[in-house]
């Protein structure tokens, strides 16, 4: 009745496209949050077979889940909880992004760590002023520091470059204190595309790996990536209604002529944004408007006098190259971003994986 189609061949070809665009920098494939809704284990397994440089997740539990699924590629996580068992990270050969003094003091000595520094985003990571204390602990405990990372705010070019200046100065401070850093990484998808000088030794790519545009204000150009996910459901009911028919809760829409309404069993329980307004979906070869409020289990399409039937496939989003609506367009209809649309998608929709 409803399905998310995940093209694992595209995951691998997108990854290779990123490698050739951003090399010689390594490319971390970011598979946190269930691979942005695409299915973490299946996506990571496909990338592992394709020889991914590193897989990136936020939580230690996600990293351990990758290992338990038999994935051998290097794995890094960077959002630790005080109660995380960091010894298990060592046992499972997981690289840790370290952001607090408490983590630095408790991480097992043999763990492979990357220091996370807050260069301006105001989220996780050490403030630059903490670096002298960080160095003291590293030296006293003889920790195994391999990398230095930070994350850009993508606010403006000037602000991104200001973050880079801070990043470089923290790197110099560490080097001057004798802390050797092998791998510097600052850029995620947007930064890796926009600023060749910020690719350093590695870039961390999430959204663009899934073939989606990291920018809200411009097209994604010059990268041979294609959308990996498409969301579909089959028409569950189809009926002729008169002019003036109210549609769904609150009658946000009333028909202005006799028409045909198609019921699509894909609701906000599946991640279709409830506030979406003005979205379009594809049935057959045509696009039709979604009308009225999205409900928990379903939404309604005004299909006019199109020749369609119960059971026909409705593409909710997919690939513009197939003339399908995009995750970006659905996001725009709900005042959000493609990241949120794909990451929240799911509910009762099955993921069907097209093998690489």
Instruction: Tell me which residue has its CB nearest to ligand PLP.
Output: 206
Rounded CA separation 40/30 (Å) = 10
Does 163 sit near ligand PLP (CB under 6 A)? Answer: no
Span interacting with ligand PLP, options 131-139, 207-215, 263-271, 305-313, rule CB under 6 A: 207-215
Biggest CA–CA distance in the chain, Å, is 79
Token digits of residue 295: 């409900």
| Catalytic hit among 26, 32, 226, 282 | 32
- Sign for the CA dihedral angle at 230, 231, 234, 239 comes to negative
User: Which residue lies nearer to ligand PLP by CB, 99 or 260?
Assistant: 99
Span interacting with ligand PLP, options 137-145, 200-208, 247-255, 281-289, rule CB under 6 A: 200-208
Angle subtended by helix axes 40-49 and 60-68, to nearest 10? 60
Does 199 sit near ligand PLP (CB under 6 A)? Answer: no
Q: How far is CA 269 from the centre of its chain?
A: 20
Span interacting with ligand PLP, options 7-15, 203-211, 272-280, 322-330, rule CB under 6 A: 203-211
DSSP category for residue 23 = T
Does 206 sit near ligand PLP (CB under 6 A)? Answer: yes
Q: Confirm if 356 and 10 have CB atoms less than 8 A apart.
A: no
For residue 239, indicate whether it is catalytic.
no
State the burial class of residue 308 (Cβ atoms within 10 Å of its Cβ: 0-12, 13-18, 19+). Answer: buried
End-to-end CA, the chain: 24
Does 292 sit near ligand PLP (CB under 6 A)? Answer: no
Shortest distance, CB of residue 231 to ligand PLP, whole angstroms? Answer: 19
Among 214, 227, 265, 271, binds ligand PLP (CB under 6 A): 214
Rounded CA separation 122/246 (Å) = 47
DSSP category for residue 355 = P
Does 147 sit near ligand PLP (CB under 6 A)? Answer: no
Q: Confirm if 288 and 20 have CB atoms less than 8 A apart.
A: no
Does 204 sit near ligand PLP (CB under 6 A)? Answer: yes
| Catalytic hit among 136, 249, 251, 254 | 249
Span interacting with ligand PLP, options 45-53, 183-191, 322-330, 346-354, rule CB under 6 A: 183-191
- The CA-CA-CA angle for residues 239, 241, 243, to 5°, reads 160
Does 188 sit near ligand PLP (CB under 6 A)? Answer: yes
Shortest distance, CB of residue 168 to ligand PLP, whole angstroms? Answer: 18
Among 96, 205, 228, 337, binds ligand PLP (CB under 6 A): 205
Rounded CA separation 16/173 (Å) = 35
Token digits of residue 327: 């995750």
Return the residues of window 62-101 that contact ligand PLP according to CB under 6 A: 78
Shortest distance, CB of residue 98 to ligand PLP, whole angstroms? Answer: 13
Write out the residues near ligand PLP by the rule CB under 6 A.
30, 78, 151, 188-190, 204-208, 214
């Amino acid at each position: 009745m409803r399905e998310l189609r995940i093209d694992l061949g595209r995951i691998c070809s997108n990854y290779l496209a990123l490698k050739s665009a951003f090399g010689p920098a390594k490319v971390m494939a970011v598979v946190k949050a269930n691979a942005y809704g695409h299915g973490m284990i299946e996506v990571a397994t496909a990338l592992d077979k394709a020889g991914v440089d590193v897989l990136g997740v936020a939580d230690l539990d996600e990293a351990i889940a990758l290992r338990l699924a038999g994935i051998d590629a290097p794995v890094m996580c960077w959002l630790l909880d005080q109660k995380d068992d960091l010894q298990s990270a060592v046992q499972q050969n997981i690289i840790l992004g370290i952001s607090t003094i408490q983590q630095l003091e408790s991480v097992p000595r043999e763990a492979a760590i990357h220091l996370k520094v807050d260069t301006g985003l105001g989220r996780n990571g050490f403030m630059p002023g903490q670096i002298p204390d960080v160095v003291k602990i590293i030296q006293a405990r003889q920790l195994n520091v391999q990398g230095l990372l930070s994350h850009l705010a993508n606010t403006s070019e000037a602000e991104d470059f200001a973050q880079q200046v801070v990043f470089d100065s923290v790197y110099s401070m560490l080097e001057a204190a004798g802390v050797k850093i092998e791998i510097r990484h600052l850029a995620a998808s947007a930064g890796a595309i926009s600023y060749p000088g910020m690719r350093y030794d590695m870039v961390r790519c999430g959204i663009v790996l899934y073939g989606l545009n990291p920018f809200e204000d411009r097209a994604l150009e010059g990268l041979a990536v294609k959308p990996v996910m498409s969301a579909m459901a089959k028409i569950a009911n189809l009926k002729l209604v008169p002019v003036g028919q109210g549609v769904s809760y609150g009658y946000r829409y009333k028909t202005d002529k006799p028409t045909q309404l198609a019921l699509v069993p894909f609701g906000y329980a599946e991640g279709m944004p409830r506030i979406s307004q003005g979205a379009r979906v594809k049935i057959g070869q045509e696009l039709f408007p979604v009308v009225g409020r999205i409900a928990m289990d379903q939404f309604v399409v005004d299909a006019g006098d199109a020749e369609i039937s119960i059971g026909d496939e409705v593409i909710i989003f997919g690939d513009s190259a197939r003339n399908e609506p995009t995750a970006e367009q659905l996001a725009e209809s709900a005042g959000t971003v493609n990241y949120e649309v794909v990451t929240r998608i799911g509910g009762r929709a099955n993921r069907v994986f097209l093998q690489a």
